[in-house]
Structure 1
Amino acid sequence: MSDKNNSKDFESSLEKLEEIVAELESGDLPLEKSIKAFEEGIKLTRHCQNLLSKAELKIQKLVETNDGSLDLEAFDED
């Protein structure tokens, strides 16, 4: 999937997650619907976290320091 599609997917998933949170916070859902909404929210949260982790990996790189240890630093194409 391209970065543009990942961004759109992330945005739509986050928007749906926000809707679910609002529904749950309202307290108007019956128990069974609340449980299903909660489960969907957990799946969306994991999906968004996965997309964010992939994005983070794209902008970081490992750099070896003078003492031989490895540090993460922001990726700079220069």
Structure 2
Amino acid sequence: MSDPNSQKIPDDIAKMSFEEALKELEQIVEKLDSGQVDLDQSIEIYTRGSHLKQHCDAKLRNAQERVDKIVGRNGALSTEPADIE
């Protein structure tokens, strides 16, 4: 079985905003936690959830890089790591 984290993110997920992807990921977690899905469906939605997580992580990294690039101090631009954790 291949690692879902090593697969290309599907185009429909790549087009999602962070908020859309996070909302769908939360729905997947609820379905899996409910125990109401069969094994095949669990594997399918787990894989999709993995792709959604990768997409959200990439969006957060991109946002952090943008914040790191633009930090104003006394009118001068400087770089400072963002503390997002």
TM-score, normalised to structure 1's length? Answer: 0.70
Which amino acid in the other structure matches residue 28 of structure 1? Q
Q: Which has the higher strand share?
A: 1
Q: Highest Rg: 1 or 2?
A: 1
1:1-78 to 2 correspondences below 5 Å: 9-61=17-69, 75-76=71-72, 78=75
Q: Which has the higher contact order (CA 8 A, sep 6+)?
A: 2
Task: Give runs of ≥4 in structure 1 deviating > 3 Å.
Answer: none
Identity of aligned residues (%): 34
| Per-residue Cα deviation, 1:17-46 (whole angstroms, up to 9, x for no partner) | 000000000001000000001000000000
Unpaired runs of at least 5, structure 1 = 1-7, 62-73
Give the length in aligned residue pairs.
59
What do you get for the CA RMSD once the two structures are aligned? Answer: 1.7
